[in-house]
Homo-oligomer: A and B are copies of this chain.
């Protein structure tokens, strides 16, 4: 039960289902699954509890629908970027900044928190989230690295592993600190500096061709 239906259409904006989904999103991300009551969701959606049940069956299905809706958002957010024209160093810097900003944003953090907490109970959840979010992103970055490698701009034997290493260097322990509530939301300047260091290091490990 409660598989994630990623293909289901997004309800029309303004409709009752959309209201309910938005309210569910807000409540689940703020409180987690167990601590969120259907009463609270109905109240936040300015709808009766019976209406919530009419549309989404039960609490688990509503939760799954909310996460699926979120995964669709994530997939849409990652639009194709125009990295082709940029020098390699600039392109990597841009990738690193976008990735880090996305990863550390309050929304991403909240979703991550809930998915991590509920994965044991919703076995599908982790897999689907990974596929729609991180795997998608990593695939795009690996594809970019593959292109510049094949154009002879840089020496990269295994683009997937290179991507992993690059992102590992960019993120460091920032994600952990953020998720444990140790760091303030953003830190624009500090983020730029961290990305700069990671790019420098990456270009030492995978040197550009002369």
> A residues engaging B (CB < 8 A)?
30, 32-35, 112-117, 119-121, 123, 126-127, 129-130, 134, 138, 161, 164-165, 167-173, 176-177, 179-182, 197-198, 201, 204-205
Contact = CB atoms under 8 A, between A and B. Distances in A.
A192 B155 CA distance: 24
A197 B34 contact: no
B113 A182 contact: no
Contact of A32 (B117, B172, B201, B205): B117
Contact of A113 (B116, B161, B171, B197): B116
Contacts of A130: 176-177, 180, 182
Contacts of A197: 161, 165
A164 B173 CA distance: 6
Nearest to A33: B34
Contact of A168 (B30, B116, B173): B173
A42 B167 CA distance: 45
10 contacts: A32-B34, A32-B117, A116-B179, A119-B179, A120-B181, A126-B180, A164-B172, A167-B172, A167-B173, A168-B170
Which interface residue of A127, A168, A171, A172 has the most chain B CB atoms within 10 A?
A: A168
Contacts of A180: 115-116, 119, 126-127, 129-130
